[in-house]
């Protein structure tokens, strides 16, 4: 049977469990929530350690799974076997048929929960996936966690805010969705940070604007931090966040330039045995700019002097192209990161 989220809540309260559940859908936060909730209701903490087994769908072994189902629960009337992120398409035809046969004969004292917490199972189903869905609908319960609409997300944010005694106006909730997208987990994290930032009171538009500016400063800092530590996969992720928040590519490029400029100055200063005080004085890093010296000193060993010079040349070339060509600035910034990444992985 296919069931809605509302009906599933009632189903859990009734304690009339089926032997087979399949959870999938685009809204991973809700999916994880219901997966954990079913586990907790099925197995209290004092018995879960003896009666809970989890299989990784990427390395799934049918024989081990079948043996585990046959094991008797300990100090409990039920046991739970969970499979996460099962890829049905890797099954041979004979294995797939055997798997369905096993699921059709699950012992009465066992509940099998298959949860697609990472895999997206809801786009263009393959014949095997279609067949599997129909099989679970016949023999168990299918719960699809669809992505919430913008209106539903706004209501959820307001509800969460009320739970921690914070007044979140509708227009502020709408702006959070507009700025941070429809991923419920990200939205909840941003909401909690915003509520703490505002002291758990009524959130104003002024509070939200200031929070957004601080949040973007933090993302720029993380972007540069990942870059100088040569963590390029994370660097690209944080760059996408900056692009998503419509940060001017010229501003991003200027931040990269200042970072490598600081590294070059510190490298040259160290070669000439200059201390921090002398660096601050000679390059006018007074006041709020002095922290740049400390940060550059911490990261100075990440790049050699020749690498820093090459990176500065790449940055100057990118700056010229942004100002004098019709190429898309965001793509030019991505190409710059690619050049830096290629340079430091070669050396």
- Break the chain into its structural domains and give their ranges: 2-144, 150-203, 222-346
Structural contact between residues 87 and 56, judged by C-beta atoms closer than 8 angstroms:
no
Q: What is 77-111 written as a DSSP string?
A: S-EEEEEES--GGGS-HHHHHHHHHHHHT--TTEE
Q: Which CATH architecture has domain 2-144?
A: 3-Layer(aba) Sandwich (3.40)
List phi, psi (to 5°) of 334: -65, -40
159-179 pLDDT, tens digit per residue, is 999 999 999 999 999 988 887
Band of the pLDDT at 334, cuts 50, 70, 90? very high
User: In this structure, are residues 122 and 26 in contact, taking their beta carbons and an 8 Å threshold?
Assistant: yes
Cβ neighbours of residue 42 closer than 8 Å, sequence gap 6 or more: 17, 78, 80, 111
* Displacement of CA 156 from its chain's centroid (Å): 19
What band does 217 get if pLDDT is binned at 50, 70 and 90? low
Per-residue pLDDT at 287: 60
**Mean pLDDT over residues 3-9, rounded?**
87
> Percentage of residues in the chain with pLDDT exceeding 90?
26
Closest CA to 232 of 315, 337, 346, 343: 337
Residue of 98 and 147 predicted with greater confidence: 98
Radius of gyration of the chain (CA): 27
Per-residue pLDDT tens digits for 293-304? 777 777 788 888
- Give the model confidence (pLDDT) of 243-272 as tens digits: 877 778 888 888 889 888 888 888 888 888
Question: Cβ neighbours of residue 205 under 8 Å, at least 6 residues apart?
Answer: 171, 172
Strand partners, 3: 143
Q: What is the pTM assigned to this prediction?
A: 0.61
Average pLDDT over residues 116-125: 72
Residue 79 confidence (pLDDT) above 90: no
The pLDDT of residue 346 is 66
* Share in percent of the chain as helix, strand, coil (round to 5): 65, 10, 25
pLDDT computed for residue 140 by the predictor: 93
Q: What is the CATH number of domain 222-346?
A: 1.20.272.10
pLDDT digits (tens, 9 = 90+) for 10-38: 888 888 889 999 999 888 888 999 998 88
Return the minimum-mean-pLDDT range out of 33-47, 87-101, 106-120.
33-47
**What is the enclosing helix (H) or strand (E) of 219?**
helix 205-228
- Look up residue 32 and give its two tokens: 């994880």
In angstroms, the CA 60 to CA 46 distance is: 27
pLDDT for residue 171 = 92
Rounded average pLDDT over 218-223: 74
Please check the confidence at residue 312 and state whether its pLDDT lies above 90. yes
For residue 111, the cross-strand partners are 80
Reading the block at residue 114, the tokens are 């298959």
């Amino acid at each position: 049977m296919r069931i809605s989220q509302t009906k599933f809540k009632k189903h859990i309260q009734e304690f009339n469990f089926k032997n087979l559940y399949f959870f999938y859908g685009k809204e991973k936060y809700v999916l994880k929530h219901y997966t954990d909730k079913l586990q907790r209701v099925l197995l209290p903490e004092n018995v879960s350690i003896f009666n809970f087994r989890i299989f990784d769908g990427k390395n799934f072994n049918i024989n081990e799974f079948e043996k585990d189902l046959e094991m008797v629960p300990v100090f409990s009337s039920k046991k739970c076997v969970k499979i996460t992120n099962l890829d049905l398409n890797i099954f041979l035809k004979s294995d797939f048929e055997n798997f369905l046969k096993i699921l059709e004969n699950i012992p009465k004292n066992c509940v099998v929960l298959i949860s697609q917490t990472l895999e997206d199972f809801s786009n263009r189903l393959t014949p095997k996936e279609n067949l599997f869905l129909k099989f679970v609908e016949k023999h168990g319960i299918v719960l699809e966690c669809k992505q919430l609409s913008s209106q539903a997300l706004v209501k959820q944010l307001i509800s969460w805010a009320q739970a921690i005694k914070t007044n979140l106006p509708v227009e502020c909730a709408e702006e959070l969705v507009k700025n941070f997208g429809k991923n419920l987990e990200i939205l909840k994290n941003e909401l909690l940070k915003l509520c703490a930032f505002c002291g758990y009171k009524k959130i104003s538009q002024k509070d939200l604007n200031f929070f957004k500016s601080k949040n973007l400063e933090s993302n720029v800092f993380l972007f540069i931090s990942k870059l100088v530590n040569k963590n390029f996969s994370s660097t690209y992720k944080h760059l996408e966040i900056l692009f998503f928040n419509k940060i001017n590519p010229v501003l991003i490029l200027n931040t990269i330039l200042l970072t490598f400029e600081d590294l070059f100055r510190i490298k040259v200063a160290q070669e000439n045995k200059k201390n921090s005080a002398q660096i601050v004085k000679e390059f006018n890093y007074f006041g709020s700019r002095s922290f740049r010296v400390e940060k550059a000193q911490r990261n100075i060993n990440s790049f050699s002097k020749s690498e820093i010079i090459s990176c500065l040349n790449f940055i100057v070339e990118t700056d010229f192209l942004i100002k004098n060509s019709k190429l898309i600035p965001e793509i030019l910034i991505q190409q710059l990161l690619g050049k830096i990444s290629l340079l430091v992985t070669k050396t």
